[in-house]
Structure 1
Amino acid sequence: MVWKTTIQHLLRRAAPALRPDPALAKEMRARLEAAAAQRLGRALSIRHVAAGSCNGCELELRATQTLIYDLTQYGLSFVASPRHADILLVTGVSTRNMAQALREARAAMPDPALVVAVGDCAVDGGVFKGSPVVLGGTKALVPVDLVIAGCPPNPAEIIAGLVTLVEAHDTKMPPKPKILPGMA
């Protein structure tokens, strides 16, 4: 049984790689740069927390950093510490073992911070709903600003969601401090 499936996969032609539309990528980059500059005066940083997942969403997140999608061209990058992050990106179901770590990661972030739930599991528990070790989606532990559904969502959907999130919250962010002449 396993060999039959393996052979079928080996003989099947690989699907062509999805390439984002260059014009759309350029437009999204300009929109995000403008929103980030107005919000912080710099690029935005993302802290990723895997709250208990199958790693499907993590694979798609890593694909956003490849040459095909290149998340950094939009002014977004991953950081290792929540203290340096503007966006908390959560994948996987919220398990009892990760509840405290997720809350602490959000508490360590400077305000204003945005929380994004990526994947069906992070949205509402996905196929693991009802398990005694699963508390539900991310919103069971921290307030969520954006939900990117899918099992897993593709890199283009993740990037489009992040751009939309930053633009939507752009007007709610405090204005960048102005530097008066003679203070620079």
Structure 2
Amino acid sequence: MGLEERLPNGILLASLEKLVNWGRKNSLWPATFGLACCAIEMMTTGGPRYDIARFGMERFSATPRQADLMIVAGRVTNKMAPVLRQIYDQMAEPKWVLAMGVCASSGGMFNNYAVVQGVDHVVPVDMYLPGCPPRPEMLLDSILKLHAKIQDEPINAKRAALRAERGDRTELVASSVKFAKK
């Protein structure tokens, strides 16, 4: 009852783009950038109760050269913004950024001169995760949505331009809806 029995003559066909994106999706290593209370929730996601290892992400990288996903958890101050940008620039391509929490997304309740009003002023953000602080389940859900986005991403500039011209976007469905019992 394995995969071999379901395939005709043991042949499996897929496009190179699908295979490359499948590999990228299943080998995300996060570069942690925990700055405030959201970092506690991010660390909890790595623990045994929520087990981020089932997505191949158990290795939170301390070095940006070995990471593809930057999780910015918490408020970014003006003093920390150049450091964040430097770490982002040191990450290898392709790279993704997840803004975790309302402080990283929009500055939160800290509307003053010292806090950047959204990490998207410093680095391009692929996924925003709301909440103060967001629960580990919400982080796992946003990672699953990021996986769907990576899976549908074109791997060359020509296909990316065509897709943007057509206005195609990946439909991001909440995990509670996508995996609900029917």
Map residues 27-176 of structure 1 onto 2, 5 A cutoff.
38-40=22-24, 43-50=27-34, 52-53=35-36, 56-77=37-58, 78-129=60-111, 131-172=112-153, 174=155
Shift of 1:39: 3.6
Shift of 1:156: 0.7
C-alpha contact (below 8 Å) 1:36/1:42 kept by paired residues: no
Most deviating of 88-97 and 106-115 = 88-97
Output the aligned Cα RMSD: 2.1
Richer in strand (by share): 1
C-alpha contact (below 8 Å) 1:39/1:173 kept by paired residues: no
Structure 1 stretches lacking a partner, 5+ long: 1-33, 176-184
2:148 is paired with a residue of what secondary structure? helix
The higher relative CO (CA closer than 8 Å, separation ≥ 6) is in: 1
C-alpha contact (below 8 Å) 2:21/2:151 kept by paired residues: no
Q: Distance in 1 between matches of 2:131 and 2:76?
A: 16
**Identity within the alignment, %:** 30
Q: Distance in 1 between matches of 2:19 and 2:128?
A: 19
Give me the TM-score of the superposition, normalised by structure 2. Answer: 0.70
Q: Distance in 2 between matches of 1:35 and 1:148?
A: 28
Give me the TM-score of the superposition, normalised by structure 1. Answer: 0.69
Q: Distance in 2 between matches of 1:169 and 1:117?
A: 16
Structure 2 stretches lacking a partner, 5+ long: 1-17, 157-182
Structure 1 runs, 4 residues or longer, greater than 6 Å off: 34-37
Shift of 1:36: 8.3
